[in-house]
Structure 1
Amino acid sequence: MNPTQDVAGKNAFSWRQRALAYIAELQSQLDGYNDGSAPARGAQRHLDAAREAAAAEPSLKGAWSGLAVDRTWANINKVEVALLKLIPDMELPWWGSDVLARALQHLGPQDPRRAKLEEHLGGQDGKLSPQDRTLAVITLQAANIAAQQEKVRLRSFRNTILISTAVMAVVALALSVVGALHPQAIKLCFNDPSTGPACPIGRLPSPWDVAIVELVGLSAASLVGAIGLRHIHGTSAPYTLPIVLALLKLPAGAVSAVIGLMLIQARFVPGLSELDTSAQILGWAALFGAAQQLITRLVDEQGQNVLRNVRDSSRGVDNP
């Protein structure tokens, strides 16, 4: 079975399918220009490497490092540049718009290569002349490097959020373990002189107090997070950042519920030093769990900014 057929099976991902389709298109173009020269042979090697990377077996290490994504698109970009060098002069004019669009997507308006290419194409009705081939090659290379850096920044941000989520989950787990082993260590019970003691579960401290508070906080966080999904847009990038951002809210809600009740216990909130029923305690746990949105909202906004800076042909050509 060839790699292309294998990747279409159970291990397929959408970015791999898009990459393989584009590789097939590039292969057909390269076949038409392959004259056996050294540049053509080099382009074929890059195309084979891109196909191999796109069809490789997915792994957790590869997903974390982005090795398959980087190798696939780096080699595809090399083939694009090689084709621009190989195509005959008579077909060159029609590449002007494509190269300029790539430059507008990924290079800033002050980039001298983009500005020079815009100037030259503007005076030639958008058609690329043989005299500007070298300029187009240099500009395309720069735009491709910028596009790769955009994906690297996206992956780095996603990995940072994953680490933060894991750390928060460990903290939540540690709190629940301590609460189970030493119910008196994390005091979530209150003692109203008129009604007597009140705990998250019943009237006496329980090994399950911290766990039930975290569960309520996590549930409230998931509800608020679901409501917030209306502001999150999908992405064609190979990293599922919106899902990762949503996962961060769950352990954050669990931890904030416990910390919030501890602050009430410590009389940091005037007028709420004594809660007299389990329902009130769990109600405040839900409120503090939902309140994590005040912090994670800032992370969501940063995530959307990172996603907006990852541009492709579907995102238009306005300035990054």
Structure 2
Amino acid sequence: MDPTQDVAGKNAFSWRQRALAYIAELQSQLNGLKDKSPEAEGTQRHLDAAREAAAGEHSLREAWSGTALDRTWENINQVEVALLRLMPDKDLPWWGSDVLARALQHLGPQDPRRVKLEEHLRDQDGQLSPQDRTLAVITLQAANIAAQQEKVRLRSFRNTILISTTVMTLVAVALALVGALIPQAIKLCFNEPSTGPSCPIGRVPTAWDVPVVEIVGLASASLVGAIGLRHIYGTSTPYTLPIVLALLKLPAGAVSAVIGLVLIQARFVPGLSELDTSAQIIGWAAIFGAAQQLVTRLVDEQGQQVLENVRGASRDVEAAKPR
């Protein structure tokens, strides 16, 4: 059975589809060479390994580690380099623009390989000559390694955010459990002499005080997060970082709502010593839930910067040129 037939079903991830389509294109180029040399046979093995990795089974552990993604593109990159070595001289000129574009996207403006290749192609009207084949191979290898490192950094950042979200969620659940089992442990009630005690729901502490405050903080955080999505652009990378960043706001809002009310009760917030009614308490819980944006906004900015550093084929090459 052809492993690519499974892509439309359980393995229908966009990066897998793109990889398999590109593998089919590379296979066509390799077949067109009609080369039976040992290097061509080795290239076919890399191509088969890439196809197997892209169309194989997937799991949460694999998604976390990125094993299939790395194996797929590392083998694809090896095939690209091998094709560049095997390509007949008459078909070589058009490779110049492709290799240079890859270098401009992934190598720094001072990289000597990029600079030298750019100078040679400028003198040859953008066409790659057989004399520059070795330089092009070295440059393509370096650009491919840099591209893989960009994806590794993105995956590491995404995993860090997922761990932070998990820890924040556990903290929120722990606060809710303590508040539900021991209502007196986390007091969110205020005692105004003129009106008497006021709690999030009623006049006396209940097991629902902390959960209700967390729900309000979470709802407020989700609303602020939805508004903030207008500044987040989509990504063609295999890691859904914008979604992961948005998820972090939810437990952060729940926790910040509880902590904010505790700080008011402890008189850490000047001018807010007592709250008169349950509505005021819930209102401030909503404000503190929205205030998580002050912290998570910095994480959003870092995430957007990490995304911008992952340069795909669709990225404008001009953005990679030195200013």
Q: 1:284 aligned to 2:284?
A: yes
Counterpart in the other structure of 1:314: 314
SS at match of 1:197: strand
Gaps of 5+ in 2: none
Counterpart in the other structure of 1:76: 76
d(CA) in 2 for partners of 1:266 and 1:312? 51
Counterpart in the other structure of 2:141: 141
SS at match of 2:320: coil
Counterpart in the other structure of 2:159: 159
Q: 1:227 aligned to 2:227?
A: yes
The letter for the 1-side match of 2:215 is L
Gaps of 5+ in 1: none
Counterpart in the other structure of 1:123: 123
CA contact (8 A) 2:199 2:205 kept: yes
d(CA) in 2 for partners of 1:236 and 1:294? 28
d(CA) in 2 for partners of 1:33 and 1:239? 35
Give 1:2 deviation, angstroms: 2.0
Counterpart in the other structure of 2:63: 63
Give 1:313 deviation, angstroms: 1.2
SS at match of 2:12: coil
Give 1:101 deviation, angstroms: 0.2
Cα deviation code 1:160-193 (max 9, x no counterpart): 0000000000000000011111111111000000
Give 1:235 deviation, angstroms: 0.4
Which aligned pairs between 1:296-315 and structure 2 lie closer than 5 A?
296-315=296-315
d(CA) in 1 for partners of 2:116 and 2:289? 54
Counterpart in the other structure of 1:198: 198
d(CA) in 1 for partners of 2:2 and 2:121? 42
Give 1:125 deviation, angstroms: 0.4
SS at match of 2:93: helix
The letter for the 2-side match of 1:301 is E
The letter for the 2-side match of 1:42 is G
Give 1:10 deviation, angstroms: 3.2
d(CA) in 2 for partners of 1:8 and 1:57? 13
Give 1:269 deviation, angstroms: 1.1
SS at match of 2:274: coil
d(CA) in 1 for partners of 2:157 and 2:33? 40
The letter for the 1-side match of 2:151 is K
Give 1:316 deviation, angstroms: 1.5
Give 1:138 deviation, angstroms: 0.2
SS at match of 1:191: strand
Give 1:266 deviation, angstroms: 0.1
Give 1:58 deviation, angstroms: 1.5
The letter for the 2-side match of 1:81 is V
The letter for the 1-side match of 2:259 is I
Give 1:83 deviation, angstroms: 0.4
SS at match of 2:92: helix
d(CA) in 2 for partners of 1:260 and 1:72? 47
Counterpart in the other structure of 1:93: 93
d(CA) in 2 for partners of 1:87 and 1:278? 76
SS at match of 2:287: helix
Give 1:11 deviation, angstroms: 2.8
CA contact (8 A) 2:85 2:133 kept: yes
The letter for the 1-side match of 2:229 is L
Counterpart in the other structure of 2:32: 32
d(CA) in 2 for partners of 1:11 and 1:101? 30
Give 1:272 deviation, angstroms: 1.1
CA RMSD of aligned residues (A): 0.8
Give 1:45 deviation, angstroms: 0.4
SS at match of 2:170: helix
Cα deviation code 1:77-132 (max 9, x no counterpart): 00000000011001101100000000000000000000010011110001000000
CA contact (8 A) 2:11 2:55 kept: no
Counterpart in the other structure of 1:187: 187
d(CA) in 1 for partners of 2:41 and 2:68? 22
Aligned residues: 320
Could you tell which deviates more after superposition, 26-35 or 97-106? Answer: 26-35
d(CA) in 2 for partners of 1:143 and 1:291? 42
Which aligned pairs between 1:252-271 and structure 2 lie closer than 5 A?
252-271=252-271
Cα deviation code 1:187-207 (max 9, x no counterpart): 100000000000001000001
Cα deviation code 1:248-283 (max 9, x no counterpart): 000000000000000000001122111011110000
d(CA) in 1 for partners of 2:215 and 2:192? 25
Same amino acid, percent of matched pairs: 82
